[in-house]
Amino acid sequence: MSRPAASSTRSPRSGIPERKREGDTLLFAYGTLMRGLERHRFLAAGTTLIGRGTVRGRLLSLGRYPGIVDGGDRVTGELYRIDDEELLPAVDREEGYNFLRRRAVVTLTDGRRARAWIYRYRGPRERAAVIPAGDWRNRWR
C-alpha cells in the first residue's frame, strides 16, 4: 500500500527540501546514480534530492563505476528521499550481487545528520583503485 504523497518544505535559496520527514526512507548515492551521471535515470522519477553530503568509508574505482568499502575517509555524494516504495528493490537488482544495501550515517553540508541506505561494495578488489579524495565526480582531479 502506498503512503499518501506529502508536500515538502523547500529552501527559498536552493529549492531543495529543508528537512526530512519522520519515517522517510533515504538513499545516499555516491557514484553513477548521482544527478547528471549514467544511471541517475533509476532515481530520477522516484526520489527527491535532499542535498549533498558525506559518509565514512573508502571510495574505489572499479572501472566504469565506483564502490564504497569500510575505511576512515569521507566519501562525497547526494542524499535522496525515496518517494516510490518500489524503487529500492529495483535499484537492488540494478546494483547487482557485488553490492549490499546497508545503513550509514550521512553528514549533510550544513552539518545535519541522517541515517540512509547506501550500497557497499563486497566484490573482488584486485583491480580496484582507491580514489583518495572520495569524490567520484572529481576522481581524477
Q: Catalytic residue among 38, 85, 95, 126, which?
A: 95
> Which residue in the block uniquely carries the three cell numbers 574505489?
60
Burial string for 13-49 (b: 16+ CB within 10 Å, else e) reads eeeebeebeeebbbbbbbbebbeeeebeebbeebbbb
Q: Is 85 a catalytic residue?
A: no
CA pair distance 124, 134, nearest whole angstrom: 19
Grid cell 547528471 in the structure block, residue: 36
135 CB neighbour count, 10 Å cutoff:
17
Paired sense of beta strands 26-29 and 99-108, if any = unpaired
Place of cell 582531479: 141
Active site residues: 95
